[in-house]
Chain A
Amino acid sequence: MKNRSYSALKVLVLCFLVVSVLLPLLSLFTHMTFEDMQKVVANDGFSTMLINSVSLTLASTLISVLLAFVLAWMINRSHIRYKAMFSLLFTLPMLIPSISHGMGLVLLFGDNGLFTNWTGINLHIYGAVGIILGSVLYSFPVAFLMLTDIFKYEDYTIYESAEVLGLSKWQQFTQITLSNLKRPLVSVVFAVFTMIFTDYGVPLVVGGKVTTLPVYMYREVVGLLNYSKGAVIGVVLLLPAFIAFILDLKNNTTVSNSTVVKPYQVSVNKKRDTLCYIVCILVVSCVCLPILTFMFLSVVKQYPNDLSFSLDNIIEAMQLGVDNYLLNSLAIAMCTALLGTCISYLTAYMTARSKRTFSTMVLHLISMLSLAIPGIVLGLSYVLFFKGSLIYGTLAILIVVNTIHFFASPYLLAYNSLTQFNANFEDVAQSLGISKLRMLKDVYLPSTMDTIVEMYSYMFVNSMMTISAVSFLASFKNMPLALLIPQFDSQSLIEATAFISIVILAVNVILKVLIYLIKKYVIAKEYH
């Protein structure tokens, strides 16, 4: 058969995933010594840090998901205008690093913050309050997108029959909407929890005296180069994500893809719509405030003494090498997006369009497993596994680590869109003698261009703003721009951090616009 090159490719992809996911993870476990485990656990601060991490994450997750739920409901169940614009602005925080959200709070509400100086009110942002606020800001857009997806595909006929049976609006909400959401809500909660639990960016800058486990791990590894201790904490961080992964896997397998008979019909209610406007505008202001602050601080002469317009900060930032690191970031983001899109698409093609065999199951499982490994844990395991190898210290290792870190979402995007094609395509191909790779090139690739650019965009944006997996692997030479933020923050170069956040945001916004234009004018014309 002509499928020999396909089989070879499958082996290659499998090898890549084993080397870049399983082996590093394994080396993380083998680097833990019993001695270090004892040391870490016996450390007085450990239990406090664990409690801090768990309680703050729980509180942030609760607020974040609740907020996202309210917003998703308002966007999908009201008649307000500018829904697309609101949705877009809600997801703006996804385009900048988590640490920027922390910085934003500091710049606004810190001891010397804009708001503090202006009103004279100090909100004492450092500590639990800051961590929760920053974490919510950084995680709610993810929950919002997930929940919007669920709201959008709710079938209205069930509400119509409820209406006929005489159920009140409140009864419909609790008995239909909420019970429909129960299962997906579990996934959303897990995703948000894991995201916040393993983030060091926000607590690093606004945590004050409150230390969380990721911050502890960051300081041990970056500051003290204590890798084995880091490995122990890494495993602790891995645990909840791993449990969530297992539960989620079980949770998701039973969800049926029910078809929407009739989309939801929103009733007319002026009062509700007014309330929606107020809440949406309020949230958008909260989201935009830090970003406007970054812009403001980037172009004032010297905050807070001289507020006149000047490009001094930007020039200074450039002299500190921001332009070089931006080039690093662009190279990393472009290559990660390219490599990541190719490999995740290929993997999805192999798992979605072939009979289920042992090898396709392994491919699927490893792809999903990458979702369960927090960025900093993945980064540390890469340090342990690749240290001394050829790619260590180069841009290549950052590209590979990001590819794996952001692998699962584009993989699932491709998987879902590929499984939607006619189940008989492979039979047709076989009876006509079309090889698997030819089918890929002639049928699937051209039919899924929308998904492919979406995957590229996801990988690019995330690689641009990530500070997690790359943090332990980056050196002076190959460091991406986002990692300058913690560095400049520790050197009190506050205006420079603001400028960097704006640069990252700008790059990502430009990319998003480009992707939108490509989708609208190139793909729509060419392929539909």
Chain B
Amino acid sequence: MEVLNKKVEVKELFKQMDGKTILDHISFDVYEGEFLSVLGPSGCGKTTLLRILIGLDHQNSGEIYLDGREISKMPSSQREMGIVFQNYALFPNMTVLENVEYALKIKKETAKTAREIARKTLVQIGMEDQLNKKPSQLSGGQQQRVAIARTLALNPKVILLDEPISALDVTNREIMKKELKEIQRKFKATMIYITHDQEEAFFLSDRIMVMSEGTIEQIDVPTEIYQHPANQYIQEFVVDHLNQKYASLCKCTGRAYEE
């Protein structure tokens, strides 16, 4: 087995808001090229964690390292991370191409290079026919692809995704799930993926980090979590949930369910 490089190291991250502990001294590592899902119910602190990682919020204590360099106090724009939001956040007055170009120009690319990179990235992500459309003319899934392209084009060291497909309808969610997996392979990106959906996490991830109430309950590969849940919480929130879902599916379709 190849030796895994630590891409991101989080040490003793602690965050309080209005006297309430949101993140309770959590530590974990993310490896190079890994797809790590942060799974937990709403209010468990996963979004706050993401915002702190990229510098949109600030921790009370604890450190974050990227490639061994401490970035805990750096402004967001210098952290070399990209973020994709649930609601796409594309600029409405710019076309698909301009949205991607704009991000590149902000990062001091020349107009010519910006256009080249933007076009290339959009082609790779399957948006070559929509370059001159405004975001309002696109479907949710297409908009999210543009938002991902905008992040990918900047070639960030880590991409953070905050429930990027939960605003899509079921069919498009399934398509985007597969595409995300494809994109990660194609771009060999390190991704941290926030979700509250157990199946999504299991389908996409190399490893899953399950959180509740500001602490990490378990962090491991999906099979390990499923076969050896660390505690009662994991048993109920992950294993029982998946089993019930599968069992009810079998019941409806008449397929045999094997324990």
Residues on A lying within 8 angstroms of B by beta carbon are 1, 421-425, 427-428, 430-434, 438, 442-443, 446-447, 527-528
Contact = CB atoms under 8 A, between A and B. Distances in A.
B92 to A, nearest CB: 5
A391 B57 CA distance: 46
Given A431-B54, A431-B56, A424 B93 contact: no
Contacts of B89: 422, 424-425, 427-428
Given A424-B87, A431-B54, A433-B75, A442 B92 contact: no
B75 A1 contact: yes
Interface string B88-104: 11011110000000110
B162 to A, nearest CB: 9
B83 interface: yes
A431 B87 contact: no
Contacts of A434: 106
Nearest to B88: A422
Contact of B103 (A427, A432, A438, A446): A432
Interface of B: 51, 54-56, 75-79, 81-83, 85, 87-89, 91-94, 102-103, 106-107, 134, 154
Contact of B91 (A423, A425, A431, A528): A425
9 contacts: A424-B85, A424-B87, A430-B55, A430-B75, A431-B77, A431-B83, A432-B77, A432-B107, A447-B93
B77 A428 contact: no
Contacts of A427: 51, 56, 83, 85, 89
Contacts, number: 58
A4 to B, nearest CB: 13
A432 B150 CA distance: 10
B49 to A, nearest CB: 15
Nearest to A433: B77
Contacts of B55: 430-431
B164 to A, nearest CB: 12
Contacts of B77: 430-433
Nearest to A444: B93
Contacts of B91: 425, 442-443, 447
Contacts of B54: 431
A1 B51 CA distance: 18
B92 A447 contact: yes
Nearest to A442: B102
A121 B77 CA distance: 78
* Most interface-central of B51, B76, B91 (chain A CB within 10 A): B91
B92 A430 contact: no
Nearest to B160: A431
Contact of A431 (B81, B92, B102, B134): B81
Nearest to A430: B76
B106 to A, nearest CB: 5
Contacts of B82: 431
Nearest to A447: B93
Nearest to A1: B75
Given A422-B87, A446-B93, A447-B92, 15 more contacts: A422-B89, A427-B89, A431-B54, A431-B55, A431-B79, A432-B77, A432-B103, A432-B106, A432-B107, A433-B77, A434-B106, A442-B102, A443-B92, A443-B93, A527-B93
